Amino acid sequence: MPKMNGIIKSARELATFLSVFGAACVCGCATTPKAPASRSQGEVAPIFRADQVIPPQLIRGSNYRIAERVPVEEYSYVFTVKSDFGDIIARGRDMLDLRLRELQSIESAKKLSKDPHAVNGILDPLKDTGKGFVLILTEPLESLKRAPRGFKRMVNQYVDPADRRAGSPERRKLATELDCDPETTNPVLKKLLDDMAVQQFGGSLITRAAISIVPGLSVLPTTAEIKDTIANSPPSVINDEIDKELEAAGVEKSIRSRFCKSVAFTTMQRLQVMEEFRALKDAKARTALLEGTAEARTQAEALGAIREGKMLVDIQKRRPILRLEYVGLPLAVLDDGTHAVVCPYDYVNNTHELIEGVTAYRSSNPNVSTVFVSADQVSPAARKTLESANIAVVEGGPSNW
For residue 356, pLDDT beyond 90: no
Residue 370: name the closest of 330, 400, 341 by CA: 341
Q: Round the CA-based radius of gyration of the chain to a whole number and report it.
A: 22
Residue 188: name the closest of 59, 64, 58 by CA: 64
Tens-place pLDDT, residues 34-83: 333 345 666 788 999 999 999 999 999 999 999 999 999 888 999 999 99
What is the distance between the alpha carbons of residues 401 and 397, in angstroms, rounded to a whole number?
Answer: 7
The DSSP output letter for 46 is P
Least-confidence region, from 19-33, 43-57, 230-244, 308-322? 19-33
What is the distance between the alpha carbons of residues 364 and 382, in angstroms, rounded to a whole number?
Answer: 20
Residue 133 is predicted with a pLDDT of 56
At 45, the amino acid letter reads A
Residue 377: name the closest of 392, 390, 355, 393 by CA: 393
Helix or strand run (H / E) with residue 27: helix 11-27
Residue 67: name the closest of 94, 93, 48 by CA: 48
Tens-place pLDDT, residues 281-328: 999 999 888 888 898 898 888 999 999 999 999 999 999 999 998 777
What is the distance between the alpha carbons of residues 371 and 303, in angstroms, rounded to a whole number?
Answer: 23
Residue 269: name the closest of 141, 146, 182, 195 by CA: 182
Residue 142 is predicted with a pLDDT of 42
Please state whether the predicted TM-score (pTM) of the whole model is above 0.85. Answer: no
Q: Taking the chain, what is the end-to-end CA distance rounded to the nearest angstrom? A: 24
For residue 22, pLDDT beyond 60: no
Tens-place pLDDT, residues 157-194: 556 889 989 999 999 999 998 889 999 988 889 988 99
33 — pLDDT class (breaks 50, 70, 90): very low
Spatial CB neighbours of 215, under 8 Å, sequence gap ≥ 6? 55, 57
Tens-place pLDDT, residues 140-157: 444 444 445 454 454 445
